Amino acid sequence: MSECFSRISSRTAPDRNSRARKFVNSGVTLQVVLSGIGLPEGIKKMKSIRTLRCWDMQKSLLEDIKGLGELTNLTELDLSTYQDVCLTLEQEDALVSSIGTLRDLKRLFLDWECRCSDPDSQMDSLHDPPPRLEELYLPNWQLIRVPKWIGELCCLQMLGLQVLHLSSDEVRVLGELPS
């Protein structure tokens, strides 16, 4: 049975419930942890979420992956798949597009358990990464090369990734990151 955990209820309040609306608009930090269900339908309406952790991303609808880009208050985003399943290229493309709009994101953790070196990986297409990103973890992505945009992360403090082949230029880019 699917389980959904959250420190504070993340369900959007019906219009008739003004106390719940006031709570959502009060600036309280919301953290949502989802397991076994993918992203909830209509996640783009959950504008107050600051931290989102979701396992079983492969169960998420394409529309909801695109909706992540509207969660402009997100500062932490942890997404994983489960049981050796990867996202489709279409899902991955939507995710990369959404991540590019999250300007306040400080922590990004993407873990696809079966990630294999895919020459069509969409991670290279993230041309405008979140400028405030401090932590980036791509533990099982097995990238063919270091994505070019990593050199633009001037606030980066923690980096975890697997790269199959490093050129001297890529080593230099990593060496120029702030320590």
pLDDT at residue 144 in the model: 81
pTM of model > 0.85: no
% of the chain exceeding 90 in pLDDT: 33
Instruction: Check residue 110 and report its DSSP letter.
Output: E
Q: Average pLDDT for residues 103-121, to the nearest whole number?
A: 74
| H-assigned helices in 18-119 | 18-24, 62-67, 89-99
Name the band, by pLDDT with cuts 50, 70 and 90, for residue 9: very low
At residue 89, what are phi and psi to the nearest 5 degrees? -60, -35
Cα separation values, 103 from 75, 82, 106, Å: 9, 27, 9
Name the band, by pLDDT with cuts 50, 70 and 90, for residue 17: very low
Detail the DSSP E strand segments found in the chain.
3-6, 30-35, 49-54, 76-80, 107-111, 135-143, 158-163
- Structural domains of the chain, with CATH: 3-175 (3.80.10.10)
Residue 156 has pLDDT above 80, yes or no: yes
> Contact, 60 vs 41, CB < 8 A?
no
| H-assigned helices in 7-57 | 18-24
Please give the Cα distance from 78 to 33 (Å, whole number): 9
- In single-letter form, the type of residue at position 70 comes to E
Q: Average pLDDT for residues 151-164, to the nearest whole number?
A: 90
Mean pLDDT of all residues in the chain?
A: 77
111 token code pair: 């873990």
Of 59-63, 70-74, 131-135, 162-166, minimum mean pLDDT range:
162-166
pLDDT at residue 162 in the model: 84
Of 8-22, 55-69, 77-91, 113-127, minimum mean pLDDT range:
8-22
The label of the residue with tokens 């989802």 reads 34
89 token code pair: 């290229």
Please give the Cα distance from 155 to 126 (Å, whole number): 17
What tens digit of pLDDT does each residue of 24-80 get?
444 445 566 656 678 988 999 999 899 999 888 888 999 999 999 999 999 999 998
What tens digit of pLDDT does each residue of 82-101 get?
767 778 889 988 999 999 99
Please give the Cα distance from 45 to 41 (Å, whole number): 9
> Contact, 125 vs 103, CB < 8 A?
no
